């Protein structure tokens, strides 16, 4: 399907506005070419006086005819200006509305895509689509469509007038048009892939710039500024070269079209002049043809710019629509879940999961009892975090069943499932708002008292009150004004405020010191009462009081039990415990 067909189908709610915009553009062009006709009629009036064209309508006096021409000119200019205002208003509003709808729809669609989609996508390209590509579509709708409509209708209308006034000259004047169209479409086919390459390279630059700005502290600490400048320079050069290639083709269109336009104008000028000298063509009609030839041919020089904008838009429309058509593999529309009735029993039954053809979980089965605290420990890459991501349905299992209170989670409404789980991950996400905004993120209607209570449970209240504006302090993008431990405590407070029946802490205390960790653990002892809690930790002191600990290795559970039981087994857990205790002694 052609990109503009895809865009037209997408914009079905605006098709009435599109039709009206097309009508206004056409009417504006009709009134736009009328002054040239009036010039010919004026010459006819002065030359032929009472035998002129207007005399046939009962206006015998030459002065009366000129007054009529003046009134007609005023009316034509008024209507031309009116329809220019109307089409400009219609197309610009349409461009803004579609731009807004596209950006919101694309962003909403992205949020519904599974996590594996983001694993394989360049963040810069996604940002480029959301910003640059949608803005490019907006620019085309703002003026490009009107230009296409007006060039097309002016050519058709003026061509009809030519055939009415002088069929012979009309045929001759059309000789350059096939060459003009061939040149435009020939370059169009070549320039299309170039602009797609330009868009991809723009995405690459965006991605790298975004990563560099987020990692500016690392760049500075390793004095890698010059290295990063050279990388950006290389990417920018690649973008420049792809753009240069497109510009070269784009720039070649106009000279080719201008030569063809010149040929058509010379034909009308010379051949028409001979006909007038031989008294085979009225001088007024000759004047009209000369003026209209400009209207017929010179607008075609705009085809180069129109083609350029058109091709840029094609590449952008395809990228936007392809993203919108990316299938959502994780459905949001299953059976609803009453959060008040969630007990928190979790069961994994024969779960297998692979990522990029690498086996992560192998026939994994275990039970988690409601109201108890469970811990996952093991080496990096053993499958601990993967289990949690499958429970949250960030990824979909290959086989097996995951049950929540006896219900298959793949048949539970995804939003309800995630609302029942409070998740604190290793990668803390904070918004660029206040401390209170961040704690209440996801629980947006919480009172200040509830926010403060959650902060106290997370051992965050003390440091918050020492900030300049307390809970109203702005923490900067991604919480850059806070330490790692402070960010983690805000994330824990956020999960506590959510008050979910299931609480997951994935290395949630990894960035805090031992003293703060002990304080948080003491607070969590109160928080976990009555709810199912799952803790992932490398620091075993964090999980020693868990009701049950699962030891993971290569996607399997090789040991399980409470702390004392596992220590007495003298297995992997006991070895890890001894090692960590030894490190503490040293």
Residue numbers in the chain where pLDDT is lower than 70:
1, 44, 46, 48-49, 51-54, 56-58, 60, 122, 124, 181-192, 195, 199, 214-215, 217-218, 220-222, 249-254, 256, 294-305, 307-308, 331-340, 509-512, 516, 583-586
Q: What is d(CA 337, CA 417) in angstroms, rounded to the nearest whole number?
A: 7
Q: What is d(CA 335, CA 332) in angstroms, rounded to the nearest whole number?
A: 9
Distances 329 to 110, 115, 332, 489 between C-alpha atoms, Å: 12, 10, 10, 33
Question: What SS3 class is residue 574?
Answer: helix
Q: Please give the structure tokens belonging to residue 409.
A: 């989670």
Alpha helix positions (H), 166-302: 167-173, 176-214, 216-221, 225-277, 283-297
Contact of 360 with 354, CB cutoff 8 Å: yes
Distances 397 to 117, 387, 400, 570 between C-alpha atoms, Å: 15, 10, 7, 33
DSSP 8-state class, residue 427: S
Contact of 208 with 235, CB cutoff 8 Å: yes
The CA-based dihedral angle spanning residues 375, 380, 385, 387, taken in that order and rounded to the nearest 10 degrees: -80
Distances 576 to 386, 493, 568, 582 between C-alpha atoms, Å: 21, 30, 13, 10
Q: How many CB atoms lie within 10 A of CB 66?
A: 15
Q: What is d(CA 251, CA 187) in angstroms, rounded to the nearest whole number?
A: 10
Q: Residue 287 class from Cβ within 10 Å (0-12 exposed, 13-18 middle, 19+ buried)? A: buried
Q: Please give the structure tokens belonging to residue 243.
A: 């753009």
Q: What is d(CA 353, CA 360) in angstroms, rounded to the nearest whole number?
A: 6
Distances 204 to 124, 199, 316, 336 between C-alpha atoms, Å: 6, 9, 15, 41
Strands 502-506 vs 407-408: parallel, antiparallel or unpaired: unpaired
DSSP 8-state class, residue 379: S
Q: How confident is the model over 545-586, as pLDDT tens digits?
A: 889 999 998 888 999 999 999 999 888 889 888 887 774 443
Q: Residue 280 class from Cβ within 10 Å (0-12 exposed, 13-18 middle, 19+ buried)? A: exposed
Q: How many CB atoms lie within 10 A of CB 109?
A: 14
Question: What SS3 class is residue 469?
Answer: coil
Q: What is d(CA 527, CA 240) in angstroms, rounded to the nearest whole number?
A: 56
Instruction: Report which of 417, 398, 405, 403 is spatially closest to residue 349, judged by C-alpha positions.
Output: 403
Enclosing H/E stretch for 51? none
Contact of 493 with 424, CB cutoff 8 Å: no
Contact of 470 with 399, CB cutoff 8 Å: no
Question: What SS3 class is residue 545?
Answer: coil
Task: State residue 70's pLDDT score.
Answer: 84
Task: State residue 217's pLDDT score.
Answer: 59
The count of C-alpha atoms lying within 13 angstroms of the C-alpha of 132, restricted to the half-sphere facing its C-beta, is 22
Q: How confident is the model over 316-355, as pLDDT tens digits?
A: 888 888 888 888 777 666 666 666 678 889 999 999 998 8
Enclosing H/E stretch for 488? helix 484-498
Q: What is d(CA 319, CA 323) in angstroms, rounded to the nearest whole number?
A: 6
Task: State residue 367's pLDDT score.
Answer: 92
Task: State residue 266's pLDDT score.
Answer: 81
Which 3-state string (H, E, C) describes 92-134?
HHHHHHHHHHHHHHHHHHHHHCCHHHHHCCCHHHHHHHHHHHH
Question: What SS3 class is residue 402?
Answer: strand
Q: What is d(CA 292, CA 170) in angstroms, rounded to the nearest whole number?
A: 11
User: Domains in the chain, start-ordered, CATH in brackets?
Assistant: 3-324 (1.20.1560.10), 342-420+501-586 (3.40.50.300), 426-499 (3.40.50.300)
Q: What is d(CA 173, CA 163) in angstroms, rounded to the nearest whole number?
A: 10
Residues 6+ apart with CB under 8 A from 529: 371
DSSP 8-state class, residue 505: E
Composition of the chain by helix, strand, coil, percent to 5: 70, 10, 20
Contact of 526 with 367, CB cutoff 8 Å: no
Tokens 């415990």 belong to 577
What is the pTM assigned to this prediction? Answer: 0.71
């Amino acid at each position: 399907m052609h990109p503009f067909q895809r865009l037209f189908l997408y914009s079905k709610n605006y098709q009435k506005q599109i039709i009206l915009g097309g009508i206004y553009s056409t009417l504006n062009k009709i009134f736009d070419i009328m002054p040239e006709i009036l010039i010919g009629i004026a010459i006819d009036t002065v030359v032929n006086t009472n035998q002129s064209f207007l005399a046939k309508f009962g206006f015998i006096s030459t002065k009366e005819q000129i007054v009529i021409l003046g009134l007609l000119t005023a009316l034509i200019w008024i209507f031309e200006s009116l329809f220019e205002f109307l089409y400009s208003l219609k197309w610009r509003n349409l461009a803004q509305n579609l731009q807004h709808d596209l950006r919101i729809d694309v962003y909403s669609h992205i949020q519904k895509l599974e996590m594996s989609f983001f694993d394989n996508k360049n963040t810069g390209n996604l940002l480029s689509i959301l910003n640059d590509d949608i803005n490019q579509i907006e620019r085309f709708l703002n003026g490009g469509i009107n230009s296409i409509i007006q060039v097309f209708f002016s050519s058709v209308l003026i061509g009809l007038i030519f055939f009415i006034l002088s069929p012979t000259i009309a045929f001759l004047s059309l000789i350059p048009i096939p060459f003009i169209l061939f040149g435009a479409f020939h370059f169009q086919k070549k320039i299309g892939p170039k602009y797609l390459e330009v868009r991809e390279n723009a995405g690459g630059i965006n991605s790298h710039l975004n990563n560099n700005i987020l990692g500016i502290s690392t760049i500075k600490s390793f004095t890698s500024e010059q290295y990063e400048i050279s990388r950006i320079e290389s990417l920018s050069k690649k973008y420049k070269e792809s753009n240069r290639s497109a510009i070269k083709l784009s720039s070649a269109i106009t000279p080719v079209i201008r030569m063809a336009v010149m040929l058509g104008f010379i034909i009308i000028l010379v051949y028409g002049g001979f006909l007038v000298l031989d008294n085979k063509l009225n001088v007024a009609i000759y004047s009209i043809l000369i003026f209209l030839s400009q209207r017929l041919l010179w607008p075609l020089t705009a085809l180069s710019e129109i083609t350029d904008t058109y091709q840029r838009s094609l590449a952008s429309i395809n990228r936007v629509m392809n993203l919108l058509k990316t299938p959502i593999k994780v459905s949001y529309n299953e059976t609803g879940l009453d959060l008040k009735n969630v007990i928190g029993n979790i069961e994994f039954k024969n779960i297998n999961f692979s990522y990029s053809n690498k086996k992560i979980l192998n026939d994994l089965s275990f039970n988690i009892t409601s109201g108890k605290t469970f811990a996952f420990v093991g080496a990096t890459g053993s499958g601990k975090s993967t289990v949690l991501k499958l429970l949250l349905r960030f990824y979909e299992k290959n086989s097996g069943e995951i049950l929540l209170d006896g219900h298959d989670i793949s048949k539970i409404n995804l939003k309800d499932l995630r609302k029942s789980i409070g998740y604190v991950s290793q990668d803390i996400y904070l918004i660029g708002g206040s401390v209170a905004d961040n704690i209440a993120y996801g629980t947006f209607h919480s009172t200040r008292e509830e926010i403060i209570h959650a902060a106290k449970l997370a051992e965050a209240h003390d440091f918050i009150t020492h900030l300049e504006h307390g809970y109203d302090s702005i923490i900067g993008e991604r919480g850059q004004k806070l330490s790692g431990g402070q960010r983690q405590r805000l994330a824990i407070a956020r999960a506590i405020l959510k008050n979910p029946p299931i609480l997951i802490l994935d290395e949630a205390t990894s960035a805090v010191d031992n003293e703060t960790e002990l304080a948080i653990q003491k607070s969590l002892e109160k928080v976990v009462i009555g709810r199912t809690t799952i803790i992932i930790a490398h620091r075993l002191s964090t999980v020693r009081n868990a009701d049950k600990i699962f030891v993971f290795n290569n996607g399997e559970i090789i040991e399980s039990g409470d702390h004392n039981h596992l220590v007495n087994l003298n297995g992997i857990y006991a070895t890890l415990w001894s090692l960590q205790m030894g490190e503490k002694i040293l």
